[in-house]
Amino acid sequence: MNRLLLACIAVNLLAFIQMAIDKQRAVRGRRRLPEAQLLAPVLFSGIIGVIAGMLAFHHKIAKTSFHTKVAITFVIFLVAAYQLLNR
């Protein structure tokens, strides 16, 4: 399997797991993961894992500001990927 594809799968899996951990901590009233840590995988193709985690765990579904940050981060990823591929 292609290394790039494996890396993409790993980043999305990490993003999904982070959403699960943060939701569990929120429910238990424990210290949460910083939003920057939840958004970081999006910069490395982890958008699917973040969205899947949000939907699977009903986490940050009502947080419009988080949705906006995810969208902006994804646009940054797309622009960076475009720039790298068109050198």
Question: Please, which residues have CB within 8 angstroms of residue 51's CB and are 6 or more apart in sequence?
Answer: 70
From the list 26, 77, 22, 15, the residue with the least C-alpha distance to 50 is 15
85 pLDDT more than 80? yes
Q: What is the mean pLDDT of the chain?
A: 96
Does pTM top 0.85 for this prediction?
A: yes
Task: Please give the Cα distance from 23 to 39 (Å, whole number).
Answer: 15
**Predicted confidence (pLDDT) per residue in 32-60, tens digit:** 999 999 999 999 999 999 999 999 999 99
**What pLDDT is stored for residue 49 in this prediction?**
98
